[in-house]
Structure 1
Amino acid sequence: MAKVVVPSSLKHDLFFQEETVTLAGQPSLVASPYFIYELQGNEAPWENPSFYLKTVQDTYQFIQPVIEMKFKEKDKEIEQMMKAVIALFFMSLFWSNHEPVVLNDWKEKVAAFEVKPLNAEERLSFVLARPFSYQAYRQMDALMTEQQKQFAKHSLLSNHKK
């Protein structure tokens, strides 16, 4: 276990309330602390996004039915799960554009991205304003699907140009 200072680029109240976080021995994409690759600095998924985005997508596909059930049951655990989904989307969005996740000033970064869902900034703002609502979850589900399609399309076109 190692203590790491949260870089200013990742400071966002939804994900980090402390100045430092403890990294567990077994890192996870869906447990706090989120954005482990940006925090550790050992690997850079944004340099080779195809491999890592498959892991992000598989992880989302695995937890998605659980979230549906938790909303139906009005389970308190939904807050932690929604944080995980939002974190997964940020990873997908930024890594698809060959960038590490940046949470402060994310809107400006996302505005310049080539690979993103339609109206991503407005839709993500809606989600971050009410992150634990069912409407936010439905929006995240749509955004995850659209981001996956955008990345696949971009990858095909990039490979076609080579």
Structure 2
Amino acid sequence: MKIVQVQTQAEAAGAQRISDMVGEGLRARGHEVRTVFMYRKTEAYDSDPNADFVLKERPRGLPGQIRATVGLARYLRAARPDAVITYQHYGNIFGTVGARLAGVRHVVANQSGAPHSKGVMGLLSQIDKLMGMVGLYQANVVNSGWTEAQFDRYPQA
């Protein structure tokens, strides 16, 4: 199976380590796995043969975010993955929208932290929740029992 993982930013941090471990495990099972980052934040993945970047710098404002989403959709259309796994709030939103624009049928959202209720992050959590409820992605995957408990109030869909 051909799988693309979508991460927000390329840096050596926790969510990126999770996708590294998932990618290693899937490759060990014979799957072709690439990780695409919405933008390059540090040089941490510059020499990774399984990593790609949509943008070299962080997208600024709504025009930059639109450019990043369109760039991701183009990347996914060219890559033609069987499935997409998304990570983090922005990665879940950009990755799901990009995957759907590219015609990817199977999308899984990885939740690595608690949903937020206030501010911009609260809005992103609500968008993420709505996307799952309407079936834009098929499953939420969590990294721990604690994280799973944070989503107990989410609808089953």
TM-score in terms of structure 1 length: 0.31
Larger radius of gyration: 1
The structure with more strand, counted as a fraction of residues: 2
